[in-house]
Amino acid sequence: MSEERVKTHWFDRFASATARWTGHAGAFSIAFGVVLFWALSGPIFGFSDTWQLVINTATTVLTFLMVFLIQNSLNRDSLALHVKLDELLRVSTEARNALIGTERLSEKEIEELEREEESAKGSARRTADETSPNGSGDR
C-alpha cells in the first residue's frame, strides 16, 4: 500500500470513529458537563473576557474541525450507498441501466430524469386503471 493510501485510510478510520462517537449520548453528556463547568466557574473568574474567550475559542475550533470529519464520513457513506444502489439497478431486470451513476450528473439532468420517472409512473398508473376489472387499479 502506498504511503498516501495509508494516510488516507487512517484519516477515514479516524473520521468514522469520531463521527460515530460524537453522535452518542455519552459525547453529549461530556459536552454538557464541560459547558456546565464553564458556566459555574464564571463567578470564580469574574465573568471576565478571558473566561468568555475560553468557551468561544474551544467551541469554534471544535465546530470547524467537526465539519470536515462529518463531511468525510458523509461522503464515504453516500458513495457506498450509490455503489449498492447501482448494483441493484444492474442486476434488476426491470430497472433502467441508464440510472446507474446518476449521482455524477448535473442537477438539471437529474431533474429531467425525475420528470421522466414521474411521467412513467403516471403512465403505469393509467394503464393499471384501464386494465383493472373495477377500474381502480391495483392500488
Q: Say whether pLDDT at 2 is over 90.
A: no
Per-residue pLDDT at 115 exceeds 80: yes
Please give the pLDDT value at position 139: 46
Residue 15's CB: how many other CB atoms inside 10 A? Answer: 20
**Each residue's pLDDT tens digit, 10-45:** 888 888 889 889 989 999 999 999 999 999 999 999
Over range 60-85, report the average pLDDT: 91
In angstroms, rounded to a whole number, what is the distance separating the alpha carbons of residues 39 and 41? 5
Residue 137 has pLDDT above 70, yes or no: no
pLDDT of residue 62: 94
The helix (H) or strand (E) run that includes residue 132 is none
Note the pLDDT of residue 136: 55
- What is the mean predicted confidence (pLDDT) over 48-65? 96
Q: Residue 4: which pLDDT band, with cuts at 50, 70 and 90? A: low
Rounded to an integer, the average pLDDT of 46-69 is 95
